[in-house]
Amino acid sequence: MQSKEIAIRLARALDAKKALNIRILAVEALTTVTEYFVIATGTSTTHVGALADEAEFQLGQQGVPALRTEGHDGKRWVLLDYGCVIVHVFTQEAHDYYDLEHLWADAKAIPASEWLPEEKAAQQG
């Protein structure tokens, strides 16, 4: 499975569990650490945990296990590392504080129209 397809599947899994502010950023031209970031926000620590669990479950079902996970204890920022894709699931407060979209402003954002159904992509803007 290609890294972009993994990122899209992860974003869709997060969307299915009602994640907010889902973004896919192509960072391969900016770092050697990974190719894509998938960033999402949960409404509470419980929601953040459920989002991370669902993303991990959905990719695991497709034979793509996370290499590492961090943050499941506090659930304010859970990180799932798939090597070519790193998922960041935040509470709103942590999302605002770390502001990864601003830190990685030079990254190419993958438009929601490439991974969400048309009507949902229009809502995401």
Domain ranges for the chain, please list them.
3-111
Alpha carbons 108 and 93: distance in angstroms, whole number: 24
> For residue 118, what pLDDT is reported?
62
Residue type for position 31: T
Tokens of 57: 């479950």
Digits of tens for pLDDT over the chain (125 positions)? 799 999 999 999 999 999 999 999 999 999 999 999 999 999 999 999 999 999 999 999 999 999 999 998 888 999 999 999 999 999 999 999 999 999 999 999 999 888 886 656 556 55
DSSP string, 44-58: SHHHHHHHHHHHHHH
> For residue 113, what pLDDT is reported?
87
> For residue 72, what pLDDT is reported?
82
Give me Rg for the CA atoms of the chain: 13
Q: How many residues does the chain have?
A: 125
Q: Domain 3-111: which topology?
A: Beta Polymerase; domain 2 (3.30.460)
